[in-house]
Amino acid sequence: MNTLDHLGSRARRAVGLLPLLPRALQLVWAASPRWTAAWLVLLALQGLLPAAVVYLTRALVDSLAALVSAGGQGDALRPTALLASAMALLLVLAQALRSLVAWVRTAQSELVQDHLRGLIHDRSLAADLAFYDQPDYFDRLHRARLDAAHRPLALLEALGGVLQNGVTLAVMLAVLTRYGWGLPLVLAASTLPALVVVLHYAVREHQFRLRTTADERRTWYLDWLLTARETAAEIRLFALGPFFRQSYQEVRRRLRQERLALIRSQGVAELSAGVLGLLATAAAVAWMAWRSLQGQATLGDLALVYAAFSQGQGLMRTLLDNLGQIYANSLFLEDFFQFLAIEPTVKDPPSPRPAPAVAPGLRFVDVCFRYPGSQRPALDGFNLEVPAAAVAAIVGANGAGKSTLVKLLCRFYDPQEGRIEVDGVDLRRLSLEQWRRQVAVLFQEPVQYNATVAENIGVGDLARAEDRPAVEAAAWAAGADQVAARLPQGYDTLLGVWFEGGTDLSVGEWQRLALARAYLRQASLIVLDEPTSAMDPWAEADWLGRFRRLAAGRTALIITHRFTTARFADVIHVMEAGRIVESGTHEELLAQQGRYAAAWRGQQGAFTSPMGALKADGQADRGSR
Over range 152-164, report the average pLDDT. Answer: 70
- Judge if 277 and 384 occupy the same domain: no
Q: For residue range 433-454, list pLDDT tens digits in order.
A: 888 888 888 887 788 888 888 9
Q: Are 272 and 196 in contact (CB under 8 A)?
A: no
CATH number of the domain bearing residue 88: 1.20.1560.10
Q: What is the dihedral of CA 370, 375, 378, 384, to 10 degrees?
A: 70
**Residue 14 within a domain:** no
pLDDT tens readout for residues 541-595 = 777 777 777 777 889 898 888 787 888 888 999 988 888 888 888 888 888 888 8
Question: CA 358 to CA 244: how far, in whole Å?
Answer: 52
Crossing angle of helices 468-478 and 537-550, rounded to 10° = 130
| Structural domain includes residue 466 | yes
CATH number where 597 lies: 3.40.50.300
pLDDT digits (tens, 9 = 90+) for 458-478: 888 888 888 899 999 888 888
The residues facing 363 across adjacent strands are 385, 421
Q: Are residues 488 and 603 in the same domain?
A: no
Residue 389 falls inside a structural domain: yes
pLDDT value at residue 613: 40
234 touches 240 (CB < 8 A): yes
| Residue 514 and residue 455 share a domain | yes
* Mean pLDDT within 424-432: 90
How many domains, the chain? 3
Is 510 in contact with 442 (CB distance < 8 Å)? no
- Cβ proximity of 556 and 528 under 8 Å: yes
187 and 68 co-located in one domain:
yes
CA–CA gap between residue 574 and residue 457 (Å, rounded): 32
Confidence (pLDDT) at 614 = 35
Q: What is the pLDDT of residue 621?
A: 38
CB atoms within 10 A of CB 96: 10
Instruction: Provide the sign of the torsion angle of the four alpha carbons 231, 232, 238, 240, taken in this order.
Output: positive
pLDDT in tens, 355-404: 877 888 899 999 999 888 788 888 888 999 999 888 899 988 877 788 88
H/E stretch holding 426: strand 425-426
Please state, in angstroms and rounded to a whole number, the distance separating the CA atoms of residues 66 and 405. Answer: 93
**Do residues 489 and 532 both lie within one domain?**
no
Kindly state whether residues 376 and 428 are assigned to the same domain: yes
Render pLDDT for 115-132 as a digit per residue (tens, 0 to 9). 877 887 788 777 777 777
pLDDT digits (tens, 9 = 90+) for 488-538: 888 888 888 777 777 888 877 888 888 888 888 888 888 888 877 766 677
Q: Are residues 432 and 515 in the same domain?
A: no
For residues 529 and 507, membership in a common domain is answered with: no
Q: What is the pLDDT of residue 37?
A: 86
Same domain, 165 and 256: yes
Q: Cα(123)–Cα(143) distance, rounded to whole angstroms?
A: 14
Question: Could you list the residue range(s) of the whole structural domain that residue 495 is in?
Answer: 447-522
Do residues 271 and 411 share a domain?
no
The reply to whether 403 and 266 lie within a common domain is no
Residues 96 and 174 in one domain: yes
CB 48, CB 170: distance < 8 Å: no
